[in-house]
Amino acid sequence: MKIAVVGAGVAGLCCATELLAQASELTIYERADRLGAAACSWFAGGMLAPWCERENAEEAVLLRGQLALKWWAEHTQGVVKNGSLVVAQRRDKNELSRFSQRTSGYQWQDAEAVATLEPELAERFSQGLYFPEEAHLNPRLAIQRLAENLQQKGVTLQLGCEVAPEELEADVVVDCRGYAARDNWHELRGVKGEMLILHSDEIQLQRPVRLLHPRIPLYVVPRSDGHFMVGATMIETSDRERISARSMLELLGAAYALSPAFAEAEIVEIGVDVRPAFNNNLPRVKREGKVLRANGLYRHGFLLGPSLAQAVASAVRQPQLAMEEF
């Protein structure tokens, strides 16, 4: 079976990985001239945190997101299973209680336990929620490794190639263009996310740390060589060109609230992009002739990408399936 995948973000690469066994020929088309240049996956946090995400997401995110922990460990290197830590400043302690009531899989930590988990946070937080089964990865490395694995297995990756899915010569075409596919799927809306990459040799964190706030909770994710991803806002707009002053202040303020040492950190990168989402913030698969449209990962690209890919693979095996919504 000749299969084409349009889009080489996390959705497209996960789909290609799951479809490899069914394809006699598999080609991935990406409009950007390099991986990540046109994909919101490039600016993701890379947190595999289904229990934390359940706080403001449907139960499907928890159930399907747990599959991602095993999937990524099987298909790429660099998955760090140190859990997640959720904290709140003293004035926002009610937010921590509210968070605990909306999720599961956590252990309450007192100030001493928080300091044991993250010495950088010693004497700064009196309580925390520790989610021991969660993990994180570097999304950029994960995307690159998925692409390399696919190419080593004979998959063709065509970069700098913008195509219309309907016009490709293939038995099955999987449209994973994200928000760029809104002309074919009008229910899609854009949700802007903004992030920073900071660098500091003075700070050590072993796991993603979420700082709760009544308006917008933010998180800091450690990466290699003293780099930290700070994100991510959720703004109902398709504007992907700029970060607002308010968002910049909130991101930097969250980092500083975790550790004042971030005040001296270098701002290495500012990232802005638009996540594709449906009204319930859950992904969907829809069939239109030979084209399968897979979209709507919202802020859960790495968490739900594997299960979305499995749904696509199931639809290829069972052509009678018309549409699947999580």
Helices (H), 158-280: 245-258
Helices (H), the chain: 10-19, 50-53, 59-75, 93-101, 111-117, 139-152, 245-258, 301-317
Q: How many CB atoms lie within 10 A of CB 149?
A: 16
> What's at 80, amino acid-wise?
V
The number of CA neighbours under 13 Å toward the Cβ of 305 is 33
Domain match, 199 and 254 both:
yes
Shortest CA distance to 37 belongs to which of 110, 156, 144? 144
| Domain extent for 98 | 84-132+189-277
Domain match, 289 and 264 both:
no
Whether 72 maps to a domain, the answer reads no
Contact present, 291 and 166 (Cβ < 8 Å): yes
Domain match, 314 and 202 both:
no
CA 19 to chain centroid? 21
The gap between the terminal CA atoms of the chain, to the nearest Å, is 27
Whether 244 maps to a domain, the answer reads yes
The residues of the chain scoring below 50 in pLDDT are: none
DSSP secondary structure letter of residue 179? G
pLDDT score of 241: 78
pLDDT score of 36: 82
Whether 225 maps to a domain, the answer reads yes
Domain match, 206 and 263 both:
yes
Contact present, 125 and 111 (Cβ < 8 Å): yes
pLDDT score of 48: 98
Whether 127 maps to a domain, the answer reads yes
> What's at 154, amino acid-wise?
G
Whether 11 maps to a domain, the answer reads yes
pLDDT score of 321: 64
pLDDT score of 233: 79
pLDDT score of 324: 60
Specify the number of domains making up the chain: 2
pLDDT score of 240: 77
Contact present, 20 and 280 (Cβ < 8 Å): no
Boundary-marking domain end, from 277, 298, 317: 277
Whether 149 maps to a domain, the answer reads yes
Return the structure tokens found at 19. Answer: 């479809």
pLDDT score of 322: 59
Q: Tokens 């499995």 correspond to what residue? A: 310
Structure confidence by residue, pLDDT tens digits, 225-275: 999 999 977 888 887 778 889 889 989 998 999 999 999 999 999 999 999
Structure confidence by residue, pLDDT tens digits, 78-107: 999 999 999 999 888 899 999 999 999 999
Whether 58 maps to a domain, the answer reads no
Largest pairwise CA distance in the chain: 62
Domain match, 103 and 197 both:
yes
CATH number of the CATH domain containing 249: 3.30.9.10
pLDDT score of 326: 57
Domain match, 144 and 242 both:
no
